[in-house]
Amino acid sequence: MSPTFHSLRHRNYRLYWSGMFLSNVGTWMQRIAQDWLVLVVLGGGAQAVGITTGLQFLPFLLVAPFGGLLADRFDKRRLLMLTNTFLGLVGLFLGVLTLTGAAQIWHVYVLAFLLGVGSALDNPARQAFVSELVGKDDLTNAVALNSASFNAARLIGPALAGILIGLIGTGWVFILNGASFVSPILALLLLRGAGGRPKRDPERAGTVSQLREGVSYLWSRPDLLMVVAIMFGLGTFGMNFQMTMALMATDVYGKGPSEYGLLGSIMAIGTLSGALIAARRRVPRRRLIVGGSVVFGLLEVTAGLMPSYVLFAISLVPLGIIAMTIMTAANAYVQTTVPQYVRGRVMSLYMMIFMGGTPFGAPLIGFVAGTFGARWSLLGGGILTTAFALAALLVLAPRSGVVVRTRLRPRPGLVVVTTAPAPAPADEPATVRVA
């Protein structure tokens, strides 16, 4: 492959990465302002925040597979321009409602759901588009750098939102988020030699058969089943930081919007570090996903027990590191072991399972927090995450080439050993029987 082609790919990726960064900052600002609007401005309480979070992630369960199908059938660049436009308009509309004093909790519920619809359609195309911008050898690094962009924005967005909420109010934060989507749209317009409508196989032209083909491929891969099962537990019970940090800041430590926003930025130090560490790995490993999910649950329980705001903030750094390490490894594992012809659909199923449990987990954790106290939003989430990861490991490990052994020396513990390597994706579609 010529140096000119490589340089064009790198230019396109840098341009795309830069365009997404500003939008990611706005997205994190929106999340903080949305929770603050529901919890404090509208007085909805912990359960209302949990419902809002659940509604925002519910579309990943309902429409994400169709997002993957669209990503496999149509020009990903044009699809991404449409989804970013839609997401920007939703942010602007919520800003107008808030600034005019017309916003009510049910408005936030509806718009949070619409944001989720846009994200569920955008995410599979965005994930699969990375593989078209870079070569296979650079895919793992590109996935990690995408996570680094998202979490570098997390370092800035929450703290900036906390400051702006105090200075100009939540409404203008939503307006700024809506405007931030101009950046990725411009970047996508400026890309050269990227995208294009994929070739369609007439034998797989049916929508239902294509969806079933993606499910059948995933079901035929026990190693992928174990990964997505573990990530389901992590996403459903453990990754509710959008809600849990708001509850801890306000109910446990009695802090305001600036201190709440700062927690998101402090955690971003950990998530950004985890993403940069992951970028150094060329091969994602399943044992890292398995062991990391157990460690994550234990660290989340530890965070929930912290007696002061400062110690709680410090505990978020290692929690962020391990969370991002797991997510990057799982994402890269799926992308690098799935052939391109079905990658969009498999990625949409992965995101559906990973994020689709949040509509059930977030209201449950919110109910637990409202009933037993805000600390239990972390204690319960950590315990359930660890338990689910161990259960998935014990049930699915024999089929997926993973062996769990006990160890007494030098210290007691469990050792996770991968006995079968992950299959490399074929360049041509493999025959997958659709039952």
Looking up residue 175, the CATH number of its domain turns out to be 1.20.1250.20
Cβ(243)–Cβ(362) under 8 Å? yes
Residue 38 lies in a domain: yes
Q: What are phi and psi of 179, to 5 degrees?
A: -70, -25
Q: Give the separation between CA 95 and CA 43, rounded to whole angstroms.
A: 18
Structure tokens at 355: 């994020």
Residue 420 lies in a domain: no
Q: Based on the domain organization, do 189 and 211 belong to the same domain?
A: no
Among 136, 163, 195, the domain boundary falls at: 195
Q: Based on the domain organization, do 270 and 397 belong to the same domain?
A: yes
Among 144, 169, 195, the domain boundary falls at: 195
pLDDT tens, the chain, 435 aa long? 333 434 545 666 677 777 788 888 888 899 889 988 888 888 887 778 878 877 887 887 778 778 777 877 778 888 889 999 999 999 999 999 999 988 888 999 999 999 989 988 888 788 777 767 766 666 666 766 777 777 677 778 877 888 898 888 899 999 999 999 998 898 888 876 555 555 444 444 566 777 788 788 888 888 888 888 888 888 888 887 867 888 888 888 888 877 877 887 788 788 778 777 766 666 667 778 888 888 999 999 999 999 999 999 999 999 988 988 888 888 878 877 888 777 778 887 887 888 777 777 777 887 888 888 888 888 988 998 888 888 887 877 666 656 555 555 665 555 555 555 556 554 443 333 222
Q: Based on the domain organization, do 236 and 337 belong to the same domain?
A: yes
Given this model, what pLDDT does residue 2 score?
A: 39
Q: Give the separation between CA 276 and CA 148, rounded to whole angstroms.
A: 6
The residue count for the chain: 435
Which residues does residue 404 pair with via DSSP β-bridges, in sequence order?
416
Cβ(214)–Cβ(348) under 8 Å? yes
Q: What are phi and psi of 432, to 5 degrees?
A: -120, 120
Cβ(239)–Cβ(54) under 8 Å? no
Q: Give the separation between CA 271 and CA 144, rounded to whole angstroms.
A: 11
Q: Based on the domain organization, do 226 and 186 belong to the same domain?
A: no
Residue 44 lies in a domain: yes
Q: Give the separation between CA 298 and CA 163, rounded to whole angstroms.
A: 32
Given this model, what pLDDT does residue 96 score?
A: 94
Q: Give the separation between CA 340 and CA 220, rounded to whole angstroms.
A: 16
Residue 298 lies in a domain: yes
Residue 325 lies in a domain: yes
Residue 426 lies in a domain: no
Residue 56: its H or E element: helix 45-62
Given this model, what pLDDT does residue 110 score?
A: 93
Given this model, what pLDDT does residue 150 score?
A: 74
Q: Which residues contact 351 (CB under 8 A, 6 or more apart)?
A: 60, 64, 120, 123, 124, 127
Coil/strand/helix, residue 394? helix
Preceding amide of 410 cis, omega within 30: yes
Q: Based on the domain organization, do 10 and 99 belong to the same domain?
A: yes
Among 132, 167, 195, the domain boundary falls at: 195
Rg of the chain over all Cα atoms, to the nearest angstrom? 21
Given this model, what pLDDT does residue 193 score?
A: 56
Residue 116: domain span: 1-195
Closest CA to 161 of 310, 153, 314, 107: 153
Given this model, what pLDDT does residue 301 score?
A: 93
Preceding amide of 65 cis, omega within 30: no
Residue 289 lies in a domain: yes
Q: Based on the domain organization, do 191 and 215 belong to the same domain?
A: no
Q: At what angle do helices 76-99 and 170-180 cross, to 10 degrees?
A: 160
Q: Based on the domain organization, do 151 and 222 belong to the same domain?
A: no
Strands 413-418 and 402-407, bridge-based pairing: antiparallel
Which residues does residue 115 pair with via DSSP β-bridges, in sequence order?
none
Structure tokens at 300: 């989340």
Q: Based on the domain organization, do 160 and 225 belong to the same domain?
A: no
Q: Based on the domain organization, do 120 and 260 belong to the same domain?
A: no
Coil/strand/helix, residue 103? coil
Q: Based on the domain organization, do 93 and 42 belong to the same domain?
A: yes
Residue 429 lies in a domain: no
Closest CA to 50 of 265, 263, 244: 244
Q: Based on the domain organization, do 121 and 168 belong to the same domain?
A: yes
Cut 0.75: pTM above it? no
Is the C-alpha dihedral spanning 329, 239, 92, 268 positive or negative?
negative
Our count of domains for the chain comes to 2
Residue 312: its H or E element: helix 309-337
Q: Give the separation between CA 82 and CA 87, rounded to whole angstroms.
A: 9
Q: Based on the domain organization, do 123 and 259 belong to the same domain?
A: no
